[in-house]
Chains A and B, each alone.
Chain A
Amino acid sequence: MKAVLRLIPAAWLALLVAAPLVLVAIMALSWQAEGVPPYSPPWAGEGINPDNLRLLAEDPHYRDALAQSLVVAALTAGLCLLVATPMGIAIARAGRGRNALLGAVLLPFWTGFLIRIGAWIGLLRDEGWINSVLRALGWIDQPLPLLYSNGAMLLGMVHAYLPFAVLPVFAAATRLDPVLEQAAADLGATPGRAFLTITLPQLLPALAAAFLLVFIPAAGEYVIPELLGPADATLVGRVLFQEFFQNRDWPVASALAIALLALLLGPIILFQRLGRSA
């Protein structure tokens, strides 16, 4: 009975999680070919194809895409942390209004991120809300090129991922003992000192978790750079889409996926360690 109960989810996980990842690895070593599907596997006669992975290491187009993705993900996670840390702490200390405030942070998550990206498009377009307001105020003559910029992309990323960063900070802040800050004050620490020496250090694991919780998905983000970023923001998610859908180069797309996974392996393991200790 026990073994049967285990078998069902185990079979599901093997088929829909493990097997697909193995297929990606095989595909990364396959050859692009004419036909449907457009590839020829290593056992079809040509053997293992080492060129896809080598291409990623040697071609600056792919190398830069991977590097740029990590930079954008780190910037997004850092900015999220900057906004989320005071928010999480303040909400944890809000007393009776706590649940309502937490709900206000999480509700945008339930309403879907495409809608929020849409809102930013409407705000940032050349004929968008911000440009019309600035023009009505007489501050500008020509619309500012706000949309399709790195700034717009980061803004959208931070907006989309902020709730993920607030949650761990909030959860850790509710577990803080408020008496500790009083003890620090009693021992001569000013409120600012007490925050820096007592509150913040205790939140460090949660801050690290929040950073990674944003960093990991942001590194592979496709939709937001596509909708808000400049055309030359060649992040790995976008390059992967291009290779797969436009160039129909499944092996290179798979190699990119493998490379992205390899780069994220460290952060993922670190994140799971943090999750276990929390």
Chain B
Amino acid sequence: MEKILEVKNLHVSFKTYGGEVKAVRGVTFDLYKGETLAIVGESGCGKSVSAQSIMRLIPNPPGKITHGSILFKGMDLTAVKEPQMRNIRGADISMIFQDPMTALNPTITIGEQIIEGVLQHKQVTRQEAKKTALEMLDLVGIPNPVERLKHYPHQFSGGMRQRIVIAMALVCQPEVLIADEPTTALDVTIQAQILDLFKEIQSKTGVSIILITHDLGVVAQVADRVVVMYAGKIVEAGSRREIFYTPQHPYTKGLLNSVPRLDIEETELVPIGGSPPDLFSPPTGCPFTARCAYAMEVCDRKYPFKTRLSQEHHVDCWLQDERAIKMLASIK
């Protein structure tokens, strides 16, 4: 499959009064054409920052990409000039944000907000742009789009607004869509509708989607591959099947154990105790050590190597070390 986006060893820091927050510390992943990649992790793990770095939407100052590269079809996005980046935003790579209630400008009609994106990137007349907008609204399932085009955001429900935001992001047929917690602010039935919409649009347009979420239920529904982030690092990555059925990192296991399941009766939810480390001075060893039930002395001292388990599946954990495997076997 064709790689459309390659993020290599990305580091992002924020300068604050308290010091430098290293929000993303060496993140590497690829995105293939037409797939859905989910980035999961708890709040503050750097998943949104990674995604916004791809669009170069990190406010600078205080945020800065300190190291690494983001290759979009071979072009390094960390190096392009701002005007060129503007031509990429919305046209080649689009983004959907978490809260549809605030993502739309309250004083401009939704039609205008969709049309201006088209006019920005395509050499078309206003009439043609309007036609594209109408088709897009139809595609995302807004009934009576001709009328609705003239309405303001406050005249729509939350689910409808998220559909409009999606229409807005897709109107220029981008190749990559980054969805930052697109369903978090919606109630469950609307969530399911929006996720179905993502799948439908993907099959129609072939867009690659990066889905950022902390909801493993959402991941299970739509993701092809999953990246698990913790304290600014990718601790485990693999296909959806590998992550859900054979999770290797204790953090991934912890996340899965803390999701309620309907298919197994009478299982207690097991939360992960403690909280993520302070990213002003991240630990030199594995950042999960303090919360890990399997922590060993080495975990605290040195960050584990990456162990590749299959073509897609890899994990950063000392438990994968031969000596640890032997030890575990002898205990059993």
Whether chains A and B associate is no
Residue numbers of B with Cβ under 8 A of A are none
Residue numbers of A with Cβ under 8 A of B are none
